[in-house]
Amino acid sequence: MHNPWRISAVFLLLLACLYPVGLWLLLRYQSASPLMLTVGLAAVLACLACGRDLRALGWQWGDWKYQFLSYLIPLSYVAAAYIAIWALGLGGWYDSSFVEEIRSGYLLDGWSDTAIIALHFVLTGTVSMVLLLPAVLGEEIGWRGLLVPALAEKLSFTSVALISGLLWSIWHWPLMFLGYYGNAESPLSFQLVMFSLCLVSMSFVITSIRYKTASLWPAVVFHMSHNAFLQKFYTPLTEAGSSTHWYADEFGIAVPLAATVFAVIYWRKGVGEFDRDRA
């Protein structure tokens, strides 16, 4: 029987060692995918080093219901956040230059703006999701495939969700310190707080579903849905005003607060269901 503290420590040590390599590859190829894949590599190596069966990472697909939930929850909180931004005049609906760029890229000169936006929404939720799969799977093998179930052997649901979420967010911090991730307008300290709140909130939902299904795949779907709709649709579609950077994306107020609503719901469910089972 493997020691959960040992395998968690080995995973984090390997992750720290691989980070410079992943960062160099990111700069070399201008893509975050190699850096994200180092998380999965660290998890696989940790399993091999500690004698853990790779099947324990959660490869079974599980109930489709949880895949659909994992797709819809990020879409719901991201959409709610941006509808609030548009309704309150904190950002504009919509950036016509972005729509024109899409129109040109799709070679659909005769289509209306509404039709272009609708098509882009559909493609974001399908094609863009699939294109994100390799990199997101690489990350999730580590965070939810290995770390969450390892921590769950010793800690409460709240501790597992909080610690794994904080580690997930801290893993991104060097990119923000170096200016490769975030925005140039708001203070870095503000962005770090909002970004970390967003990822920790996501972690509570994903951890609950991971416990419920014993599957890695809902976490992958959740992560892909969040990234695709936020980064490929809602953020670029929003016309930026003088204060939009305080509210939009993962580095502003709106999305983290909307995600927190779901975090509270799933935290209460998790404590009631999983900690009771531990007792």
57-93 residue pLDDT tens: 999 998 999 999 999 999 999 999 999 999 999 999 9
Structure tokens at 44: 């696989």
269 falls within a domain: yes
10-residue mean pLDDT profile of the chain (279 residues): values are: 88 97 92 94 96 94 94 98 97 95 93 96 96 96 97 95 97 94 93 98 97 96 98 96 95 98 96 74
The letter for the amino acid at 149 is P
Q: What pLDDT sits at residue 274?
A: 87
Structural contact between residues 91 and 244, judged by C-beta atoms closer than 8 angstroms: yes
Q: For residue 202, which of 231, 182, 222 has the smallest C-alpha distance? A: 222
Residue type, 185: E
User: Phi then psi for 124, rounded to 5 degrees?
Assistant: -65, -45
Record the tokens describing residue 229, joined without a space.
């709709």
Per the CB < 8 A criterion, the answer to whether 263 and 200 are in contact is yes
How many CB atoms are closer than 10 A to CB 142? 29
In which domain, by residue range, is 155 found?
58-278
Instruction: Please state, in angstroms and rounded to a whole number, the distance separating the CA atoms of residues 268 and 277.
Output: 14
Strand partners, 238: 93
Count of domains for the chain: 1
Residue 51 belongs to some domain of the structure: no
Place of tokens 């029987």: 1
User: What Rg do the C-alpha atoms of the chain give, in angstroms?
Assistant: 19
Residue 193 placed within a domain: yes
Question: Residue 273: what pLDDT?
Answer: 86
Q: Which of 101, 57, 82 is nearest to 220 (CA)?
A: 57
**Burial bucket for residue 112 (CB in 10 Å: 0-12, 13-18, 19+):** exposed
Q: Which residues pair with 92 in a beta bridge?
A: 239
C-alpha 209/C-alpha 64 separation (Å) is 12
> Which three-class secondary structure string do you get for 171-183?
HHHHHHHCCCCCC
Which one, of 154, 162, 139, 105, lies nearest residue 223 by Cα? 139
| Residue 34 is assigned to a structural domain of this protein | no
Measured in whole angstroms, how far is the alpha carbon of residue 125 from the centre of its chain? Answer: 15
Determine, yes or no, domain membership for 161.
yes
